Amino acid sequence: MGKLDLVTIIIIAANVIISYKGFGDFGFFEKYKFNVGALRRGEQFRLFSSGFLHVDNAHLFFNMFSLYFFADIVINDLGIFSFIIIYTGSLLLGNLLSLYFHKDEYHYSAVGASGAVMGVIYSAILLQPGMSLYMFFIPIPIPAYLFGIGYLLYSIYGMKNRVGNIGHDAHFGGAIGGYVITLILASWLFEENLLMIGLLAIPIVLLFILKKTGKM
């Protein structure tokens, strides 16, 4: 872990300030959250604004803690501008995938930076596939690429079975964003890590096959 870059500090601060505003102001929260009915009425700004709101302190902390650990890898390898593109693009793609899966559920609502953070995590895994991750509940290191594949497979399961009050589709969409945008910005990865690119694509291809065959 290197120094915490200024852009990461700004993003974390924005999430904290906007989330706390939402905690104490129900009208503000309702106006800027992701809501299918409002989006279909033309309030597209919610695709972006909802990514800075959270439901509670635990939700906010977990997302910002994850961002804190992975942002530096992406910034060091690709630079600040590319990191911002990956963060923003993953946030939007996560919410767009949610909208795609819930387009007829006008009541469906969601908030959180999870899509953006998953995009950053998937980008970091692509850039440093050999790194190991330590999970709170598992005392041994897990190869980053196995975590990435396993998490997306779990997200497919969660989407299919509506597991918990979690936006699995936003997580998945964010990961797709991080994956695709990173490969566009760092095309040299195709020469260095082609096998890893293929492995990390497995859950993404599986989701589209399931959707195409009507099993999602």
pLDDT digits (tens, 9 = 90+) for 155-166: 888 777 765 556
Residue 24, burial from CB neighbour count under 10 angstroms (0-12, 13-18, 19+): exposed
Q: Is residue 170 part of a domain?
A: yes
Residue among 126, 114, 128 nearest 1 (CA): 128
Q: Which domain holds residue 36?
A: 6-212
Measure CA 147 to chain center. 14
Overall number of domains in the chain: 1
- Asked whether the predicted pLDDT for residue 3 surpasses 70, the reply is no
Whether 94 maps to a domain, the answer reads yes
- Inside any domain, residue 166: yes
Exposure string for 48-70, b = 16+ CB within 10 A, e = fewer: ebbbbbbbeeebbeebbebbeeb
Question: What CATH number is attached to the domain comprising 22?
Answer: 1.20.1540.10
Residue 37 belongs to what H/E stretch? Answer: helix 36-40
Looking at per-residue pLDDT, the higher value among 85 and 135 belongs to 85
Residue 92 makes CB contacts below 8 A (sequence gap 6+) with 47, 48, 177
Domain assignment present for residue 1? The answer is no
Spatial distance between the Cα atoms of 28 and 46, rounded to a whole number of angstroms = 12
The reply to whether 138 falls in a domain is yes
Q: What is the pTM of this model?
A: 0.90
Return phi, psi of residue 5, to 5°. Answer: -70, 150
Q: Determine what percent of the chain is predicted with pLDDT higher than 90.
A: 64
Do the domain assignments include residue 87? yes
* Per-residue tokens: 132: 């190991």
Any domain includes 34? yes
CA nearest neighbour of 182 among 169, 161, 200, 164: 200
| Whole-number Å distance between alpha carbons of 58 and 19 | 12
- Render pLDDT for 12-69 as a digit per residue (tens, 0 to 9): 999 999 999 999 999 999 999 999 999 999 999 999 999 999 999 998 998 998 899 8
Which tokens is 41 given? 């009425």
Q: Identify whether 150 is part of a domain.
A: yes
